[in-house]
């Protein structure tokens, strides 16, 4: 009787937003929103019953829920372990064909592999670096519509045998693709994985759209974009550059918040995402920043902190979080946290083995190391975007502290409040 009473347009889940930019709001999502998500993944023929998923995202998060909807739509099996510290180790055991994850997971894996090779040193490190340089040459030629010559083709085959196959084996050896969502993935890291034969398909959506509104396809993807809309979903870009979405996955509204609902949903059903973006001629969407997170310096220059932060994580293998600030200030500053495992490896090579995290990151040697990466970052930025001052925090951010969401996104407003005196000190 209870099952018979369930209707497609009835409330299925009430998921609260992550609170990265304000107070969490309850998002009302229907049963047919979730069945729609499962159906479009099946229609896209991205997955089928022969696949095996590794799932670490919680069911309280819309990204985790949409991956469950995909399973219900396509019939594949799923292995589950929510311990984020064991993801890469578990991949080697489970040997999945795909996994959805936040960019932070790929950043950590990328940094970990690089550090392992650096620790090996000698011929192994040289072969590793040569292999990826060779792979990038082939990738650049293929993207330009050209084919590699016989010598380069042979070298690429050798690079795959000596290096890329071992990298793939580290992730279980059977991965057809990864899906990245919840935040922007750095293009350099995506290219690195792609060169090794591990495709990362970026997708895009919000809790308010049942997560999946855009996704790249394994046979048709563009690195740096989140792909085209899934079937049945519409998109348009507003006059101010905001991405607007309409479709079966869009929420009914915010629970008991009619004013917030009216601000987000137009009368004709378009959802205002709060993200700036652009569409190319093929309908692939590129997200260029979060409107609420854009800030303006006292000199009148707009800054997109997300882009700066992603670039730093690409150049610094020890980075965990990098947060840029400078609203109505005359220069940009940053708060930095370092990955505990990565910085412990660095400490071994720099005479600080066995010391605790706070002592390592508080050392002059560590600050000098981070300064070098900040200088490298600044070389890739416009003059008004450059980081003039930074502080390395004596601990990493965590979900438990309330500074990260379950999908590893930084709650910028919480961090800004927690370290208000540090930020103010940069300008005094």
User: Tens of pLDDT along 127-170?
Assistant: 999 999 999 999 999 989 999 999 999 999 999 999 999 999 99
Query: Does residue 94 surpass a pLDDT of 70?
Result: yes
- Tens of pLDDT, residue by residue over 283-310, are 999 998 888 888 889 888 889 898 899 8
Using CA atoms, how far residue 36 sits from 12, 78, 296, in Å, is 13, 20, 39
Q: What is the pLDDT of residue 17?
A: 86
Indicate if the pLDDT at residue 198 is higher than 90. yes
Residues of the chain with CATH 3.40.50.12780: 11-105+176-289
Mean pLDDT of 24-34: 94
**pLDDT score at 20:** 64
pLDDT, tens digit (0-9, with 9 covering 90-100), for 355-406: 999 999 999 999 999 999 999 999 999 999 999 999 999 999 988 888 988 7
- Residues of the chain within CATH 3.30.300.30 domain(s) are 294-425
CATH tag for 294-425 (out of 3.40.50.300, 3.30.300.30, 3.40.50.2000, 3.40.50.410):
3.30.300.30
* Residues in contact with 180: Cβ distance below 8 Å, sequence separation at least 6, in sequence order: 100, 101, 102, 103, 106, 190, 200, 201, 202, 203
Q: 143-179 b/e with 16+ CB inside 10 Å = b?
A: eeeeebeeeeeebbeebbeebbeebbebbbeebebbb
What is the mean predicted confidence (pLDDT) over 68-88? Answer: 92
C-alpha pair distances (Å), 421 with each of 85, 329, 395: 31, 15, 17
Among the four given CATH numbers 3.40.50.12780, 3.30.1130.10, 2.60.40.1480, 3.40.50.2300, the one describing domain 11-105+176-289: 3.40.50.12780
> Is the confidence at residue 27, as pLDDT, over 90?
yes
Written as six digits, the tokens of 249 are 């996955």
DSSP string, 401-428: TTSB-TTS-B-HHHHHHHTHHHHHHTT-
Mean pLDDT value across the chain: 93
Whether the per-residue pLDDT at 114 is higher than 90: the answer is: no
Mean pLDDT of 106-128: 89
């Amino acid at each position: 009787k209870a099952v018979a009473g369930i209707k497609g347009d009835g409330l299925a889940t009430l998921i609260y937003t992550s609170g990265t930019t304000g107070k969490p709001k309850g998002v009302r999502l229907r049963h047919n929103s979730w069945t729609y998500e499962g159906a479009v993944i099946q229609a896209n023929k991205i997955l089928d019953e022969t696949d095996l998923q590794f799932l670490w995202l919680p069911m309280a998060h819309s990204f985790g829920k949409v991956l469950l909807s995909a399973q219900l739509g396509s019939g594949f099996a799923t292995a589950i372990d929510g311990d984020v510290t064991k993801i890469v180790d578990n991949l080697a055991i489970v040997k999945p064909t795909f996994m959805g994850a936040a960019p932070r997971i790929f950043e950590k894996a990328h940094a970990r592999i690089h550090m392992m090779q650096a620790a090996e040193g000698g011929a192994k490190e040289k072969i590793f670096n040569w292999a990826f340089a060779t792979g990038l040459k082939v990738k650049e030629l293929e993207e330009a519509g050209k084919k590699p010559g016989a010598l380069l083709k042979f070298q690429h085959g050798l690079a795959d045998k000596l290096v890329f196959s071992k990298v793939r084996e580290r992730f279980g050896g059977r991965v057809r693709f990864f899906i990245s969502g919840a935040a922007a993935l750095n293009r350099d890291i995506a290219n690195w994985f792609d060169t090794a034969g591990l495709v990362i398909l970026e997708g895009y959506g919000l809790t308010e759209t049942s997560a999946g509104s855009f996704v790249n396809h394994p046979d048709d993807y563009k690195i740096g974009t989140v792909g085209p809309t899934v079937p049945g979903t519409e998109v348009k870009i507003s006059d101010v550059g905001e991405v607007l979405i309409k479709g079966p996955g869009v929420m009914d509204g915010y629970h008991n918040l009619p004013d917030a609902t009216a601000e987000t949903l137009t009368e004709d059903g378009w959802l205002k995402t709060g993200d700036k973006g652009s569409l190319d001629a093929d309908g692939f969407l590129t997200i260029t920043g979060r409107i609420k997170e854009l800030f303006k310096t006292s000199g009148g220059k707009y800054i997109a902190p997300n882009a700066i932060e992603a670039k730093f994580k690409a150049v610094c293998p020890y980075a965990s979080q990098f947060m840029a600030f400078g609203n109505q200030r005359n220069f940009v500053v940053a708060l930095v946290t370092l990955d505990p495992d990565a910085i412990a490896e660095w400490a071994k090579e720099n005479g600080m083995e066995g010391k605790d995290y706070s002592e390592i990151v508080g050392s002059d040697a560590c600050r000098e190391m981070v300064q070098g990466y900040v200088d490298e970052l600044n070389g890739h930025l416009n003059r008004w975007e450059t980081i003039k001052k930074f502080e390395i925090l004596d601990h990493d951010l965590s979900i438990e502290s309330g500074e990260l969401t379950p999908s590893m996104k930084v709650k910028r407003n919480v961090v800004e409040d927690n370290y208000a005196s540090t930020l103010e000190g940069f300008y005094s």
